[in-house]
Amino acid sequence: MSLTVAPLHPLLGAEISGIDLRRRIENSELAEFIQAMDEHAVCVVRHETPLTNEQHITFSMALGPIERRSVLKIAGADAMRIPHHEIIDQSNISADDKIFQDGDRTLGFKRANRLWHTDMSFHPVRATYSALSAHEVPPGGADTEFTDMRAAYDALPQETKKRISTLSAEHSYWYSRVKGGGPEPTAEERNSRPPAQHKLVHVHPTSNRRALYLASHASHIVGWPVQEGRNLLEELMEHATQPQFVFRHRWRVGDVVIWDNLATMHRATPFEDTRHRRDMRRTTCREREVLN
C-alpha cells in the first residue's frame, strides 16, 4: 500500500494521503485509489496549491469517460470563465471575474446546488465520479455535505425495499432549479436539458451493494399520480439525509474531493455568495462516453 486511507466518518468519507493529483498517477496507485472510492464513496485529497485545470482534467480522465461539453444553455450567459469544456464552473464568479449579484440567472440556478442531489441524474447516462477542486474558499468555508445512499438503502424497512424495488423516477434539471429558488427556464433552456428516467434502487456497479438513486431533480414516480410519487420521493429523501448518514467536508484551498454519484448524494451549504468569492471547479465522469 502506498496510499494512506484515513476514514473521516463511520460510513463514508476518507482522507487519502500519499498521492498528489498534480502529478502523473501510477496504475498501482490508481487501483488503490479506486478501491478506497468503492469503500468510502467520498475521498478527500489535500494539496498545498490548487490543481491547474490541465492537472484536474488529466487526473479525471484516468477515472473514466469524462464529460467534455455541457449542452446546457443559460440565457444571456455565453462566455466561459474557464476555457476548458471538461470543467464545470461551480464558482459564483462571472466570466469578467466579478461576483454574481442577486437576480443573476446563473447564480439563481447555481443556488439549487444547495438541494440534495447526485450529479447528472437528469441525463440517461449517469455520472460516476465527480471531482471538485477548491481554488478560492470564502470565510467560514462553505462546506459541502454528502450522504451515504448504500447505508440509507440498507436501513430501509423490508416492506419499503419491496415497495420501491421496481419503481423508476423521472429526473429533471429544471425541476430542481425552480424548486431551489431559480428562475423559470425559457423553452430553449428546457430543450438543452430534457429529463431522464432511472430506477429508484440500483446495484452499485463496483461494490455490488444496493443503493438508493435519488436527487432533488426527481420530479415524480413513473406511472404514478404526480402527488403520490412526490410524497414517496420526499419520504425517501428525508430518510436518506438523516444526520447519521451525512459527512460534511470543510474546504481548504487545494482540496480535491472526489465522490461516487452512484453511492451518494451531496449538497452545497449557504454562504454570503454575493459578497465573498468561492471558486470551485468540477469534472465529471460518466457511465460511458457521451457525444453531446
Q: Name the site residues for ligand OGA (rule: CB under 6 A).
A: 90, 113, 119, 130, 132, 144, 266, 268, 280, 282
Q: Is 265 helix (H, G, I), strand (E, B) or coil?
A: strand
Bridge partners, residue 210, by sequence: 203
C-alpha cell at 38: 468503492
- Indicate the residue among 3 and 258 with the shorter CB distance to Mn ion: 258
Cα distance between residue 156 and residue 82, in whole Å: 42
Identity of the amino acid at 241? T
What is the DSSP annotation of 266-286? EEE----TTTS--EEEEEEEE
C-alpha cell at 10: 463511520
Cα distance between residue 170 and residue 198, in whole Å: 7
Bridge partners, residue 202, by sequence: 211
C-alpha cell at 106: 446563473
> Minimum distance from CB of 33 to ligand OGA (Å)?
20
| Binding partner of 282, given ligand OGA, Mn ion, none, CB within 5-8 angstroms per partner class | ligand OGA
- Indicate the residue among 19 and 214 with the shorter CB distance to Mn ion: 214
Q: Which of 263, 5, 33 is nearest to 149 (CA)?
A: 263
> Minimum distance from CB of 259 to Mn ion (Å)?
9
Identity of the amino acid at 161? K
Task: Write down the residue that cell numbers 466518518 correspond to.
Answer: 9
| Binding partner of 152, given Mn ion, ligand OGA, none, CB within 5-8 angstroms per partner class | none
- Indicate the residue among 32 and 144 with the shorter CB distance to ligand OGA: 144
- Indicate the residue among 55 and 144 with the shorter CB distance to ligand OGA: 144
| Binding partner of 280, given Mn ion, ligand OGA, none, CB within 5-8 angstroms per partner class | ligand OGA
> Minimum distance from CB of 165 to ligand OGA (Å)?
28
> Minimum distance from CB of 273 to ligand OGA (Å)?
10
Q: How many CB atoms lie within 10 A of CB 163?
A: 13
Cα distance between residue 5 and residue 9, in whole Å: 12
Q: Is 62 helix (H, G, I), strand (E, B) or coil?
A: coil
Residues numbered 88-147 forming contacts with Mn ion, rule: CB under 5 A: 119
> Minimum distance from CB of 28 to ligand OGA (Å)?
29
> Minimum distance from CB of 245 to Mn ion (Å)?
17
> Minimum distance from CB of 133 to ligand OGA (Å)?
10
| Binding partner of 56, given ligand OGA, Mn ion, none, CB within 5-8 angstroms per partner class | none
- Indicate the residue among 25 and 82 with the shorter CB distance to Mn ion: 82
- Indicate the residue among 152 and 265 with the shorter CB distance to ligand OGA: 265
| Binding partner of 144, given ligand OGA, Mn ion, none, CB within 5-8 angstroms per partner class | ligand OGA
| Binding partner of 60, given Mn ion, ligand OGA, none, CB within 5-8 angstroms per partner class | none
Question: Each residue of 170-207: b (16+ CB within 10 Å) or e?
Answer: bbbbbbbbbebebeebeeebeebbebbebebbbebeeb
| Binding partner of 15, given Mn ion, ligand OGA, none, CB within 5-8 angstroms per partner class | none
Number of residues that bind Mn ion (CB under 5 A): 1
Give the residues lining the site for Mn ion (CB under 5 A): 119
